[in-house]
Structure formats: C-alpha cells, structure tokens
Structure 1
Amino acid sequence: MDGTLVDSEKLWDVALQELAAVYGGTLSGAARKAMIGTSMADSMRLLHEDLGQPHRDPRASADWIHERIMDLFRSGLRWRPGALALLGAVRAAGVPTALVTSSVRPLVEVALDTLGRDSFDVVVCGDEVDEAKPHPEPYLTAARLLGVPIARCVAIEDSPAGVASALAAGAAVLAVPVEVPIAPADGVRQLESLTGADLELLCALLGEPPA
C-alpha cells in the first residue's frame, strides 16, 4: 500500500520526524530508510535506537504515530503513477486481488476511502498476522484467503522487506522502488514506475500467455 499504490511514505516521514522532535531529536535518513516496509514495532525500535533512547515504550510511540498518521491520511492520499490504471485493469479482468500491507487495520480502513473498498477481494494487514514482512506469512495468508496457489501470484512491492516477503512466500515479484533501492534478485522484475504496466506484463512474470 504505502509507496506502491499511494504516495504515503512522505506522510510517514512527517509523522516520524514530528515524534522524533517531541523526543528532542532528529530521525536520521538511514534509520528512516530501514523502516520502510517493516512492522510498526520494528519501526519504533529503529526510531528509539536511532535517537539513543532505547528505553522508550514502543507501544506509546506507536500510538502517537498511529493518531498522527490517521490525521494525515484523512487529509488525502495521492495515487502512485500508473497504480490506479493497473489496479483497474486487473479488476476489470476479474483477477483475484489482495492488498498485503504492514499497516494496521484501522489505518488501512482510512486508506480504503481512497483505494476503494471494492478494489480488493482480500486485505491482509500488519496487525492480522503473527509475522510481518519480510517473513512470508503475509503473502502466504493472502494467497490462502484468495484460494490461489502462491506460485500463480504476482506481488507488486516497493521495499526490500516487501520483496523479501513475497519471494520467500514463492510469488513472482514486480518491484517498483521509490524511497529505497532494491537489489537485483532472481524472480524479481524492476520498473521505475507502474506507468504502462499491464496484464500482459503480469502474465509474463508468471510465464503465462496473456489472459
């Protein structure tokens, strides 16, 4: 979701830097990049360590971020280039579709006001799995709920953690890095944006002819 479908990573930047300021510090670029695609718990641990304040309560920090990012999401989300067109094409073709995100359910519910509640057959949130990305559980859960073998799924991701999760699950991966570079890997096709991406490309990633 964040960075792949909607341009929300910049909103996370705002919230995280504001919290760092509340704690009397500034979040480093390296720590911010390490957070992308990870769970809230991991992000708060990285924040506290970066500020030299490992004693901070991660739950209290997560609650602060949650409230602030909810306000920012409500003010509006922008689609990433090409994302809305590709999602529309996939839905029009009747392809089962899942949203697999590290964000928690209440925040995703706000984002769905922009994304469309009928845009996905399944939504798997970060607080609904035991193991977050880069663990394969989120994508394996989505495939199971869709009733589709994971080997016939294409995951579209923008972060190293998301790519690792999808690869470990056994999905084909289309990577569209935005904030953080993604190292080349077998089974991963990289694009600069989703502009021009279509069903033919997704089928090719699975080694199948166009539907």
Structure 2
Amino acid sequence: MATPTWRRPTLSAQYPAAVLFDMDGTLVDSEKLWDTALHELAVAYGGVLSDTARRAMIGTSMAASMRLLHDDLGQPERDPRASATWINERILELFRSGLQWRPGALPLLRAVRTADIPTALVTSSGRALVEVALDTLGRDSFDAVVCGDEVDSAKPHPMPYLTAARLLGVPIGRCVAIEDSPTGVASALAAGAAVLAVPVEVPVEPCAGVHQLASLAAADLELLAALLGEPLA
C-alpha cells in the first residue's frame, strides 16, 4: 500500500473528501484479459469455464476466484496457489501487451486530480499486476494504492476501502467509491462510502446509497459532489 506524500487539502462541502477508484472494469477494460487467462487455464485442466462461474469471479480475490474455477470444473482438489501462480503469470503477459481505458474514466480521473481531490486506487488485483497497470494509469494519478494481496480481508469486506480512507487521512463517509461489480459495491457500501456503480459484465442490483451510470462518460465533479448530499432520482 502506498503511503501518501501530499499535503491533504482543507475539506470542502462542495466536493468529496476523496474519490476511491476500483481498477479492473472500472478504470481499465481488463476483464476481457482475465477472461482469456481463466478460460485458457480451464482448457489446460481439461474443462470449460461456465459463464456463471466467470461472472461470480468478477471483483473477488484471487483465492476466491480459484475456488470458483476448481468447483466449476469439478476439480475441487486442485491447489489454488498453483492455479493462482499460473493466472498471475499469464495476466502479467496480457497486461504488458497494453490496457485500454474504460469510456470516460481518464477524463474523470483528470478532473478529480485537477480539482486537488485526493484519490486512491482500491483493487482486488495483486501488487505485481497493479505495478504493470500503473504504467497505463499513471503512478502520479493516485495518492494511495490498496492492492488485494496487501489487506487481510478482500472485497466484499469493507477493509480495502477503510484502508484507503485511513491512508488518505479522510473520513470514509465523505468519500465516493467508483465500482463496476456487485462485490466491489458491497465492499464500498459496507465501509460507509457513497458509491457510483458503472456495471460492465455483471448487473448491480439497485439499492440505497448506490447511484448507477451506464458509463463514466456521464460522470463529472458535480455528480460526485451530489452523491454525498440528497439521493439522486
């Protein structure tokens, strides 16, 4: 986890105290790369990964994903650590081949940074993958980075988002978290953040405290500020 080196600005009621960004499927279009690696491993194990199992993996930790993969293939006896090692090596190859921004993600991130609003990257991906992704995202784009292998409890547990707020030195209740998956949304809600959901692969059920958009292209600083006030219609 990166320790912030910036001077925290005075909190303003106009904007969030911080914006906390998920990575896969939210900022970058990396879920397709995970699809490739997971389906390749399933074939290597002599099976085919079901769509149901794949959707259930989105937003979860590596350990949980490997359990879902093995159970889906009817091979629960397989070593999840060995499978995770294979996936990590393959994903690193795919990440290095290039990552594409999700629509509207880069302009929103730039607008948040220009407004001097603290930011954190809060992801279920491990540090090795995140280091590669930061070549695309920009290492100066975030004041703190929380990786899935650097917290005791991963999403949907609230710890990743609580950790990000602690590193930034801001109250979680004044933060906006931006997520694409039900697992990530559950984590941010449990932590106490306001949530902007932009579902891609898996629908997010409507619930209190969560505003949904089809794309971050429709998001701006005014919307983020409004999420901390009266619920949007």
TM-score, with length taken from structure 2: 0.89
Matches within 5 A, 1:1-211: 1-207=23-229
Determine helix, strand or coil for the equivalent of 2:218: coil
Q: Deviations over 1:23-43 (max 9, x none)?
A: 000000000000000000000
Distance in 1 between the 2:193 and 2:110 partners?
A: 21
Secondary structure at the aligned position of 1:182 is classed as coil
Structure 1, unaligned stretches of length 5 or more?
Answer: none
Q: State the alpha-carbon separation in 1 of the partners of residues 43 and 207 from structure 2.
A: 37
User: Aligned equivalents of 2:178 and 2:162: distance in 1?
Assistant: 14
- The whole-number CA distance in structure 2 between the counterparts of 1:111 and 1:53 is 31
Write out per-residue CA displacement over residues 153-174 of structure 1, whole angstroms, 9 at most, x where no aligned residue: 0000000000000000000000
Q: Secondary structure at the match of 2:216?
A: coil
Q: Distance in 2 between matches of 1:112 and 1:62?
A: 21
Cα shift at 1:196:
2.7
Q: What CA distance in whole angstroms lies between the structure 2 residues aligned with 1:108 and 1:156? A: 17
Matched residue type, 2:175: C
Distance 1:74 1:190 in 2: 31
Q: CA deviation at 1:48?
A: 0.1
| Over 6 Å off, 4+ runs | none
Number of positions where the alignment pairs a residue of Structure 1 with one of Structure 2: 208
> Matched residues, percent identical?
82
RMSD between superposed Cα atoms in Å: 0.7
Query: Quick one: distance in 2 between partners of 1:185 and 1:23?
Result: 39
Please give the alpha-carbon distance, in whole angstroms, between the structure 2 residues aligned to 1:28 and 1:195: 31
CA distance in 1, matches of 2:53, 2:162: 28
TM-score of the superposition, structure 1-length normalised? 0.98
Greater RCO, 1 or 2 (C-alpha within 8 Å, sep 6+): 2
Counterpart of 2:211 in 1: which secondary structure?
strand
Displacement, 1:207?
Answer: 1.4
SS at structure 2 position matched to 1:26: coil
In structure 1, C-alpha distance between the alignment counterparts of 2:114 and 2:94, rounded to whole Å:
31
